Amino acid sequence: MADIYKNYINGEWVDSSSGETFENRNPANHDEVVGIFPKSTQEDADRAIAAAKEAQAKWRLVPAPERGKIMRKVGDLMVQRKEELARLMTREMGKVINETRGDVQEGIDTAYYAEGESRRLFAEAAPSELPNKWAFTTRLPIGVAGIITPWNFPVAIPTWKMFPAITCGNAVVFKPATDTPACGGKLVEIMTEAGVPKGVVNIVYGSGRTVGMRLVEHPDVRAISFTGSSDIGKIINAKGGQQLKRISLELGGKNAQLVMDDANLELALDGVLWGAFGTTGQRCTATSRLLLHKDIHDKFVEMLVERVNKLKLGNGLDESVEVGPLVNEAQQKTIDEYCSIGKEEGAEMVCGGKIPDDPELAKGWFYKPTVFINVKRTMRIFQEEIFGPVLSISKINSFEEGVEHLNDSVYGLSSSIYTQDINNAFRAIRDFQAGITYVNGPTIGAECHFPFGGVKETGNGHREGGWTVYDFFTEWKTIYVDFSGKLQRAQIDNY
Beta bridge partners, 296, equal: none
Judged on CB neighbours under 10 Å (0-12, 13-18, 19+), 42 is middle
Rounded to whole angstroms, the Cα distance separating 27 from 170 reads: 35
Rounded to whole angstroms, the Cα distance separating 5 from 55 reads: 23
Kindly state whether residue 197 participates in binding ligand UN1, applying the rule CB under 6 A: no
For residue 172, the surrounding DSSP H or E stretch is strand 171-175
Site for ligand UN1 in 99-118 (CB under 6 A): 106
Beta bridge partners, 439, equal: 417
Backbone angles phi, psi at 188, to 5 degrees: -65, -40
In angstroms, give the least distance from the CB of 153 to ligand UN1.
5
In angstroms, give the least distance from the CB of 365 to ligand UN1.
19
Q: How many residues contact ligand UN1, by CB under 6 A?
A: 9
Q: Annotated active-site positions, please?
A: 250, 284
In angstroms, give the least distance from the CB of 120 to ligand UN1.
22
**Do the Cβ atoms of 83 and 98 come closer than 8 Å?**
no
Of residues 95 and 297, the one with the C-beta less far from ligand UN1: 95
Of residues 164 and 169, the one with the C-beta less far from ligand UN1: 164
- Sole binder of ligand UN1 in the list 284, 351, 375, 403 (CB under 6 A): 284
In angstroms, give the least distance from the CB of 106 to ligand UN1.
6
Count of H-run helices and E-run strands, the chain: 15, 22
Kindly state whether residue 204 participates in binding ligand UN1, applying the rule CB under 6 A: no
In angstroms, give the least distance from the CB of 441 to ligand UN1.
10
Pairing relationship of beta strands 287-293 and 390-396 according to DSSP bridges = parallel
**Do the Cβ atoms of 392 and 383 come closer than 8 Å?**
no
Rounded to whole angstroms, the Cα distance separating 444 from 260 reads: 19
Kindly state whether residue 153 participates in binding ligand UN1, applying the rule CB under 6 A: yes
Rounded to whole angstroms, the Cα distance separating 237 from 217 reads: 11
Site for ligand UN1 in 446-465 (CB under 6 A): 446
Q: List CB contacts of 377: < 8 A, sequence separation 6 or more.
A: 383, 394, 405, 408
Site for ligand UN1 in 414-453 (CB under 6 A): 444-446
Q: List CB contacts of 238: < 8 A, sequence separation 6 or more.
A: none
Kindly state whether residue 171 participates in binding ligand UN1, applying the rule CB under 6 A: no
For residue 471, the surrounding DSSP H or E stretch is helix 468-472
In angstroms, give the least distance from the CB of 102 to ligand UN1.
8
Kindly state whether residue 95 participates in binding ligand UN1, applying the rule CB under 6 A: no
Kindly state whether residue 152 participates in binding ligand UN1, applying the rule CB under 6 A: yes
Task: Measure CA 172 to chain center.
Answer: 17
- Sole binder of ligand UN1 in the list 285, 288, 437, 458 (CB under 6 A): 285
Q: Which of 469, 453, 494 is nearest to 159 (CA)?
A: 469
Kindly state whether residue 90 participates in binding ligand UN1, applying the rule CB under 6 A: no
Kindly state whether residue 283 participates in binding ligand UN1, applying the rule CB under 6 A: yes
Of residues 75 and 353, the one with the C-beta less far from ligand UN1: 75
In angstroms, give the least distance from the CB of 297 to ligand UN1.
26
Q: Which of these segments, 59-67, 197-205, 282-290, 294-302, binds ligand UN1 (CB under 6 A)? A: 282-290
In angstroms, give the least distance from the CB of 351 to ligand UN1.
23
Rounded to whole angstroms, the Cα distance separating 300 from 292 reads: 8
Kindly state whether residue 292 participates in binding ligand UN1, applying the rule CB under 6 A: no
3-state secondary structure at position 480: strand
**Do the Cβ atoms of 235 and 85 come closer than 8 Å?**
no
Of residues 49 and 157, the one with the C-beta less far from ligand UN1: 157
Kindly state whether residue 82 participates in binding ligand UN1, applying the rule CB under 6 A: no
Kindly state whether residue 26 participates in binding ligand UN1, applying the rule CB under 6 A: no
Q: Which residues bind ligand UN1 (CB under 6 A)?
A: 106, 152-153, 283-285, 444-446
